Amino acid sequence: MAAGLPRGRGLSRQLTGAEGRRAAGLTARTAALLLDSGQSTHAAVAAVERLNELLGTRFTLLPTWSQVTLADANGTVAAVQAIRPVVVHMGRATLIQRRLSATSSLSLDELEDLLEKAEAQPSSPTWMFALAAGLGASLLALIFGAHHPPSVALVFAAAGAGGLARRALAERTTAVTQTFAAALIGGLVGALAVHLGWTGTARLVAVCPGMVLVPGPQVLNGAVEIAGHRHDMGLARLADAALTILAISAGIVGGLVIGGTGLPLTATTDTIPLWLDVIAAAVLALCYPVYFSMPIRTFGWAFLAGGLAHAAHWVALTWWHWNAPASSLLACLVVSGLLTPVCRSRHIPFAGAGFAAVVALVPGVYLFRAAAGTLNLVGERTRKRYWRRRRVTWPRPSSLCWRWQSDWWYPTGYGSTSLDRTFGAPGSHSLPAGACRADIPPTASHVLAGPEVPTGRTSPAPANLTPWHIRRRRSGARIQDRPAVMFRGR
């Protein structure tokens, strides 16, 4: 049984028949609600074990990405409940876990009332959600070294507009589409900053609204579940997080491209004072409980953990001259040592509080730059292939200069090629080199669409009449190695 859930007194009788089926349905519903709220699989399994003690049942939870299955002691499927664990609402999970740990007996009616109360828990108000999104992105810009007040204000406006867009699309589209729309707004506003001449902070204007969209709880829960040998759920969570990060990158880069600019692949971060780093990180950690709809009593622990984590990070990076990965590891160890016992005793979801404390240390900027660099590579390769193909496009006869040589017309510029050797040197009927079609007397009747025998010729045709490009294809030569041809207007 998981830590933090005390042992209870089970019912004196076993649930059978309709009562047993109802107990199985409510237990599956509890596990599904926990997973749908962003809680880990370990917490859902612990809740099912706690309900077994309180209700006198012997169910086993078998979770997958799309559903949870309850099996009884004989291995028979007792209940199945569909889930969609892509939304984070930590308030529901906290309410259920606190009630299960505080009670020593629980009836089926009480459990049903508890689930209905948890499902009725509202999310954070839209105005508060948008305000927290704008404030969090602005504080991230300060932590990353933004000292231009108009740029910080623009970050606030972009992230706030993204938060409003997510709430407006919440009932109409998927979570990935909502994230893409918010990131696209950030990219467009970043392009606006470039056009306004704020090139020094334009990167932060585009990136910081996307940083608050990174699905930290999914990443943390996925890593923890893989470490606990629940590879199916862990890999599914990480895959969903990767898809969300890809949508964020696409939105940011797409917005910048629409605005006629791009995301620089390299950039420097200015160092900020210790006091500013600690205060900004602590206030930033207060914004994430609003995103995750966590209870108000959890705000203080997030504030404390965020400030201490960034203090340790700043000291290790500036005073001790550690590198960035080692400094981030130290900060995460501080957060883990502080929040792990608190989250277990107070039943606070660790994924929400822990990620809020270290969100500024997540290398989301590198992921966005990687997406922009990949797009640049693909675009450069496509442009090169396009212009290479343009160079080898076969010329139209109307755009060529032709030369009279041994009663034959062929493009100028061939030099001493096989055609010269085949047809011989220019004879008495040759025109000056470079003579064009307009220089030929209108009485001459010749076919200009390739090396064909002109009308009235009585001498036998030369042996080799195969055009030069076909001969070179047959001989294995590259198309780019063809003789030079004079183009008009190119």
* pLDDT above 80 for 221: yes
Q: Give the residue among 411, 441, 446, 406 at the shortest CA–CA distance from 427.
A: 406
Q: Give the other-Cβ count within 10 Å of 273's Cβ.
A: 10
Q: Give the other-Cβ count within 10 Å of 9's Cβ.
A: 12
Q: Which of the pair, 128 or 430, is modelled with greater confidence?
A: 128
Question: According to the model, what pLDDT value does residue 414 have?
Answer: 39
Q: Mean of the pLDDT values across residues 448-456?
A: 44
Percent of the chain's residues with pLDDT above 90:
44
Range with lowest mean pLDDT among 12-16, 169-173, 247-251, 372-376: 12-16
pLDDT digits (tens, 9 = 90+) for 54-75: 998 999 999 999 999 999 888 8
Question: According to the model, what pLDDT value does residue 348 have?
Answer: 81
pLDDT digits (tens, 9 = 90+) for 344-393: 888 888 878 888 888 888 877 777 878 777 777 776 666 666 656 555 44
Distance of CA 62 to the CA centre of its chain: 30
Three-class SS state of 487: strand
Range with lowest mean pLDDT among 219-223, 300-304, 430-434: 430-434
Beta bridge partners of 60: 71
pLDDT digits (tens, 9 = 90+) for 277-289: 999 999 999 999 9
Q: Mean of the pLDDT values across residues 400-420?
A: 41
* pLDDT above 80 for 403: no
Q: Mean of the pLDDT values across residues 256-266?
A: 81
Q: Which residue shows structure tokens 């964020």?
A: 248
- For 130, 220, 225, 247, 309, the CA distances from 354, given in Å and listed in that order, are 22, 9, 16, 24, 10
Number of helices (H) and strands (E) in the chain: give both, helices first.
Answer: 17, 5
The model's pTM is 0.73
* pLDDT above 80 for 490: no
pLDDT digits (tens, 9 = 90+) for 84-123: 898 888 899 999 999 998 888 889 999 999 999 999 999 9
CB 30 within 8 A of CB 115: yes
Q: Give the other-Cβ count within 10 Å of 145's Cβ.
A: 15
Q: Which of 131-140, 202-211, 437-446, 474-483 has the highest mean pLDDT?
A: 131-140
- Report d(CA 216, CA 213) in Å as an integer: 9
Q: Give the residue among 178, 221, 212, 182 at the shortest CA–CA distance from 85.
A: 221
Question: According to the model, what pLDDT value does residue 411 have?
Answer: 44
